[in-house]
Amino acid sequence: MLTAKERKLLDALEPLASEHDLEVVTVEIVGSKKAPTIRIYLDCEQGIGFDELSSAQVWINALMDDIDPFPGAYTLEVSSPGIDRPLRTLDHFARFAGEKAQMSLVRPFNGRSRWTGILRGTQNEEVLLEVDGIVEAIPYEDIKKAHVIGTIDFSS
């Protein structure tokens, strides 16, 4: 799911995030190779707010200065995972069981590379996704990218 560079950044960030009672949801590197944007999505048990994000920006900036992931220019964005929360680990897929999710795969599974359905947890390194009343067991290793499809209930 992560590139080698994203994995390296995640591995550097996770111990510091843990010290601050934060979770690194995922890391994304997007844009041009000469001046990429590094997106770091953070969360915490009570839900992340502006104060946690602004204090995290300080120690993340210090870490980025130390490891200098891209010599030259890059843009750093530190953010909450948002309503369409990325799903990266098996724990994420299990934690958000019952939520609608979308995923793209590195290779087709049962003839499809893109899946949308209701998460039903995990089992034996597979993500259980209910699609049209059928629960599919999609190999975790085949998932390229996945996220919750956020919904807002305006009726209350």
Domain layout of the chain by residue ranges: 4-79, 90-148
Domain 4-79 and domain 90-148 have a common topology: no
| Mean pLDDT across 123-142 | 97
151 pLDDT higher than 90: no
**Alpha carbon distance 141, 59 (integer Å):** 32
Q: Which residues pair with 40 in a beta bridge?
A: 27, 78
State residue 33's pLDDT score: 85
One-letter amino acid of 33: K
86 pLDDT higher than 90: yes
- 1 versus 135: the higher-pLDDT residue is 135
DSSP calls for 90-143: HHHHHHTTTSEEEEEEEEEETTEEEEEEEEEEEETTEEEEEETTEEEEEEGGGE
| Residue 149 near residue 82 (C-beta atoms within 8 A) | no
Give the CATH number of domain 90-148: 2.30.30.100
Give the CATH number of domain 4-79: 3.30.300.70
Nearest residue to 143 via CA among 132, 119, 151: 119
156 pLDDT higher than 80: no
State the pairing for strand pair 126-131/37-43. unpaired
- 107 versus 156: the higher-pLDDT residue is 107
